[in-house]
Structure 1
């Protein structure tokens, strides 16, 4: 009975979406520092329940950085569908809102570093991103996948003190 209740709780609270990915929300969650109101440097890692049934068990994670006085964030994330299309798994783009819903799932901040520490660590994070060894690869399990990427950056820049969520399946691949 106990296992059944636990499974019921997991299924009822996980981000399993029955929506089509094309219509699932990608709106900002409102948890990121707005660049127009926050001029200091920012390094953040976000996690949201993975899309569809995968959200029952796992999260998708990504990194967002904003240099001091920058009008936008640069977001770095890894996705498998890019590889299937002949593109690198690692994607970089700029946006004023790095905290968008992940296809219907609201993100949470896993890490938030601001101010002087963020200014000091930002070049190290960017260098680590540039050296990511699996930028053109994606394997759902055991990795490398979307969770391997921030975990690997965290290992390269231990001063971030990044603690990946338990449900970041594939984060251990980076070790």
Structure 2
């Protein structure tokens, strides 16, 4: 319904009130609920007390003839763990019996290789496998992933920004967008994944299966076969997926239906 003449001020007030209510219900209330839940859980007091050892999520000794790609993620430390994950990549090249782990940290040179066990806990939090690829498909993609890692534009000391990015999730999301054949997006609660590491505020994946729009990571949206429909507000993501039925809830991530 159009606004009546000379009522633009009242109409704007109503519009902003409804927008504020929408933000409250969709983004703030779930985030507060996630924070409340997180505070009831046991956590390491600091990084020195945290357990960083292998979680045994991955096979300890992979077979030499297998190639594999893993995307892993675990809740991060401190209060920010209520709302966000830390994600990383693990590559297993054919003909080898070890893994190579790549992730980004907030001190020194951001991009690290094998700084931790491939499936190591993050601040004592056990990781989960977001996505995995094996065999010939993995072998053909590993070189593309390595090229994307080398070309990551925020790899110099001082480039890391905890929010809205570029952070650890921005790095992994950059690789996933650079190599869309991997076929997955990071979980909705991987804060920083929507930061435009390529400098583009609007982008379409090379395979045309996902569209992204962002205002420097502060707000934006994504739609496509991989993302479903998502709205990003200040790093918090809400949305739904029809092809793989599920809801995306700030703080909690994806809830399968």
In the superposition, the TM-score normalised over structure 2's length comes to 0.59
Distance 2:29 2:176 in 1: 36
Distance 1:16 1:139 in 2: 27
Describe the superposition over 1:18-72 as per-residue Cα deviations: whole angstroms up to 9, x where unpaired: 4221121112111113334464011111111111111011111111101013121
Partner of 1:156: 178
CA distance in 1 between counterparts of 2:31 and 2:93 reads: 43
Residue 61 (structure 1) aligned with residue 48 (structure 2): no
Match of residue 26, structure 1, among 52, 57, 69: 52
Query: Does the 8 Å contact 2:144/2:179 carry over to 1?
Result: yes
| 1:159-170 alignment runs, 5 A limit | 159-170=181-192
Structure 2 unaligned runs (5+)? 1-24, 201-257
- Counting matched residue pairs gives 168
Matching of residue 80 in structure 1 with residue 106 in structure 2: yes
CA distance in structure 2 between the aligned counterparts of 1:43 and 1:5, rounded to whole angstroms: 32
CA root-mean-square deviation: 2.5
Q: 1:9 to 1:168 in 2, by over 3 A?
A: closer
5+ residue gaps, structure 1: 83-87
Shift of 1:114: 0.8
Would you say 1:91 and 2:112 are equivalent positions? yes
TM-score (norm 1): 0.85
Cα deviation for residue 110 of structure 1 reads: 1.0
Of the two structures, which has the highest relative contact order with CA contacts closer than 8 Å and spacing of 6 or more? Answer: 1
Please identify the structure whose Cα radius of gyration is greater.
2
Contact 2:52/2:120 (8 A) holds in 1: yes
Partners of 2:85 and 2:31 in 1: how far apart? 18
Name the one with the larger helix percent.
Answer: 1
Other structure's SS at 2:129 match: strand
Structure richer in strand, relative to its length? 2
